Amino acid sequence: MRTLLLLATAGLAAATLAACSGETQSGTPGAAPAEDAKIAVAANDTECKVAAGEVTAGTSTFAITNNGTKVTEFYVYAPGDRVMGEVENIVPGLTRDVIVELPPGAYEAACKPGMVGNGIRSALKVSGTAQPLSADAELAAATAGYQRYVKSQSDTLLVKTQEFVDAVKAADIDRAKELYPVARTYWERIEPVAEIFGDLDPAIDAREADLEPGQEWTGFHRIEKDLWIKKDVSADGPVADKLMTDVRTIVDRANSAKLSPVQLANGAKGLLDEVATGKITGEEDIWSHTDLWDFDANLEGSKAAVQALRPVLEQRSPDLVKTLDDKFAAAEAALGAHRQGDGWKLHNELSEAELKTLSDAINALAEPISKIAAVIAG
Amino acid sequence: MAEQVSRRRLFGLGAAGVAAAGAGALAARAFPGEPPRPAAGEEAGTPYPFYGEHQAGIVTPAQDRLHFVSFDVTTGERAELSELLQEWTAAAARMTQGKEAGAFGAVGGLPEAPPDDTGEALGLPASGLTLTVGFGPALFDDRFGFAARKPAALADLPKFPGDALVPGISGGDICVQACAHDPQVAVHAIRNLARIGFGRVSVRWSQLGFGRTSSTSRAQATPRNLMGFKDGTANLKLEDSALLREQLWVGPGDGPAWMTGGSYLVTRKIRMQIETWDRAPLAEQEQIFGRDKGEGAPLGGKKEFDPLDLTLTGSDGRPLIKDDAHVRLAHPTNNDGAHLLRRGYNYVDGSDGLGRLDAGLFFMAYQRDPRRQFVPVQSALARSDALNEYIKHVSSALFACPPGVRDGGDFWGRALFG
């Protein structure tokens, strides 16, 4: 729940990082060196010693000497294994040069003896001045696209919350129970955006276990307990009204908030963290056991944020896009096995083995998603 | 900058001194008359080489701590499995040398990116870390096209009498054994490998161990298991090069070529009925093992390494080392000369719901062919070992551990994919 809160200030950090789409330039093996001194790379079958761990932004020339017994290759990778420069077929005994143009940031230098494997890698830091990220039109388009998604979801959130609140106030318990997971779906899809406003999120979504002694309990879960456990919502009129007011306020704020691309990326990750810690364990909806509705909504919300960034990701890290597509599909399929009618099975109807399968699918997806922010920022 | 030195190694040089001082203190407290027990951190400053003919962590003098993990492979793609093994190999090559799991490490990457190392081993030396990988029989089903490459020696273990195996903590497609002098270093290694594996493998079970229960080198004293006995005195050792060739390493022609230079690993989690054992009289305990408790000498002998004389009889005319004594049943002379390289660890998983210590031995044994080594030995033990009254086998697994990684272009199990 807390990821985005921190990242509201992380926009600053993002603004200091390079915009570098289109700047990638593969070096020309054997070409004349730049005026700067060459950076020696001593490679053999088990080592890859780069003479400098830090270079300044701009053009660098690496001179790779193969002291080993196997043909080797040399790469400079940006985050997400984006190739910034490479030289192949360095036979034993030979030295070859590669010129690489590098914007400021964190990179990896790698030798691949035998031309296979992950390579022997070391960190390569590129220092210098960067341009603000906001200059990039595609990233701007990404955030605008996601903001449209937030708008559409929050419009429906208002409608469905109102229906839920009306049912509670009419003491129509069956109808309110039906609407509870539905209204929450729209909330859970955009929750990371809502969480930027730290004061309202607890008012709307606090669980009983989260409360401090003496703290007033309001929001969805308070009503959930009355619906499923007390089976009496006759006293919940004021709680329902406050829920509607709080949701209206947060929707207004969410639609006027400016999101950075990095916030978007971390929001996508934050939603999966919610699934991993709250939904798979059944802690989100401990009375109604409707956790899989929230699970599905988190997954959809995460995908929406990733899809908004997709054009940028496709340019910068096509492999990552492919992995994300695969893992989203796998997670959706794993969850899809528990669909029941228009909704989902209850959490307490799933076996431990079924929950582990879901957990594995979320872990598989969350790892590549956690790499997006650096690709966007780098 | 002439050469990059990892942050971890820099910190490590400082920390090694501290650890060495700690080792001295521990040794000084050792019981008089006992050989000083090698303490954690003693060899902390010198990493074991990762590349070589055989995997490290087998004849490597047994470190004090273990984190063992068994994975199920969740991807169905052979290429993804191969990539995973390449990434694991690269990370293992780094971590065993005291470096961080990834090139940027815990604090050297972009602020927006999750660190490529989890950070809990920052400032710690290599601590003798070895990482050893193995492939279970299940990996050779129809998923990856390995069926034709399955060694006959990797046949599923039979059910032994008395087995009370729990499926959730048995078997698995791939194992990784992390041994180190420092538990934090071993846990760090497994945690980072599990993280790299998300989406391709899923942790099936894992086990922490402490206090190695076997010595794998003559330079090491024989340690004690949780029953208080020296166990595995007759273990195969690093120095027995002819026996190692004969009993430990898979030779050319033994089976598929990809396993040549490898070894087979059997793991058994053996729960001990600690409370009832502790109530057993000393004489009964010694008869069950067939050794004396203080020195570890075989009954009828004086010193630990005195040869076992199974023919000695007592004043009553009955064998001094009883027919059902553990040491008699497990001894090579009783098993067609079969030796094992044992590398087990004690474990304590807290207490169970009845307040009993949930403890025992996480038995690990490396060998050339389980069908001729572990299986006959365990069959004899399961049938008649007097110790069975106090133990219960709750988990079992078998893995084919491929030969060593030759260099930076090689990776764990590469020949299997060839």
pLDDT tens digits for A23-59? 333 333 333 334 458 999 999 999 999 999 999 988 8
Residue A256 resides in a domain:
yes
| Domain of residue A99, residue span | 21-129
Question: How are beta strands A39-43 and A58-66 bridged, if at all?
Answer: parallel
**Chain A within 8 Å of B76 (Cβ-Cβ)?**
no
Contact criterion met (CB < 8 Å) for B199 and A52: no
**Chain A within 8 Å of B316 (Cβ-Cβ)?**
no
Name the closest residue on chain B to residue A41, using Cα atoms: B3
Shortest alpha-carbon distance between residue B150 and chain A (Å): 24
* CATH code: domain of residue A41: 2.60.40.420
Q: Check residue A29 and give its pLDDT.
A: 36
Q: Check residue A131 and give its pLDDT.
A: 56
Shortest alpha-carbon distance between residue B404 and chain A (Å): 14
Whether residues A173 and A262 fall in one domain: yes
Average pLDDT over chain A, rounded to whole?
Answer: 85
Of A13, A52, A368, the CB nearest to B112: A13
Whether residues A342 and A196 fall in one domain: yes
Whether residues A274 and A324 fall in one domain: yes
Contact criterion met (CB < 8 Å) for B4 and A378: no
Whether residues A222 and A337 fall in one domain: yes
The separation between CA B176 and the C-alpha centre of its own chain, rounded to angstroms, equals 10
Q: How many CA atoms lie within 13 A of B344 on its CB side?
A: 26
- Phi/psi for B128 (5° steps) reads 65, 20
Q: Using alpha carbons only, give the angle A196, B106, A311 rounded to the nearest 5 degrees.
A: 55
Contact criterion met (CB < 8 Å) for A106 and B110: yes
Interface probe, candidates A4, A60, A118, chain B, greatest B C-beta count within 10 A: A118
Whether residues A170 and A106 fall in one domain: no
pLDDT tens digits for B24-72? 333 333 333 434 344 433 445 689 999 999 999 999 999 999 999 999 9
> What's the Rg (C-alpha) of chain B?
22
Among A129, A149, A184, residue at a domain's last position:
A129
Contact criterion met (CB < 8 Å) for B410 and A119: no
Dist CA B112 CA B115 (whole Å) = 9
Mean pLDDT of A319-338: 94
* CATH code: domain of residue A352: 1.20.1420.20
Percentage of chain A beyond pLDDT 70 is: 88
**pLDDT < 50 stretches in chain B:** 1-43
**Contact present, B215 and B227 (Cβ < 8 Å):** no
Whether residues A125 and A246 fall in one domain: no
Interface A:B, Cβ pairs < 8 A = 122
pLDDT tens digits for A33-43? 344 589 999 99
Residue A184 resides in a domain:
yes
Look up residue B35 and give its two tokens: 């050989």
Q: Check residue B45 and give its pLDDT.
A: 65
Dist CA B418 CA B401 (whole Å) = 16
Among A83, A98, A129, residue at a domain's last position:
A129
Whether residues A352 and A314 fall in one domain: yes
Whether residues A97 and A233 fall in one domain: no
Whether residues A39 and A117 fall in one domain: yes
Residue B54 DSSP one-character state: S
- Decide if the complex's ipTM is over 0.90: no
Q: Provide the domain count of chain A.
A: 2
Whether residues A274 and A371 fall in one domain: yes
Q: Check residue A25 and give its pLDDT.
A: 35
Q: Check residue A36 and give its pLDDT.
A: 55
Among A86, A102, A129, residue at a domain's last position:
A129
**Chain A within 8 Å of B52 (Cβ-Cβ)?**
no
Whether residues A156 and A255 fall in one domain: yes
Q: Using alpha carbons only, give the angle B108, B110, B112 rounded to the nearest 5 degrees.
A: 135
Residue reference for tokens 């926009």: A11
Whether residues A326 and A230 fall in one domain: yes
pLDDT tens digits for B190-199? 999 999 999 9
Of A13, A122, A368, the CB nearest to B103: A122
Residue A16 resides in a domain:
no
Contact criterion met (CB < 8 Å) for A117 and B408: yes
**Contact present, A204 and A246 (Cβ < 8 Å):** yes
Q: Check residue A148 and give its pLDDT.
A: 85
Residue A208 resides in a domain:
yes
Helix axes A137-169, A291-316, angle to 10 degrees: 170
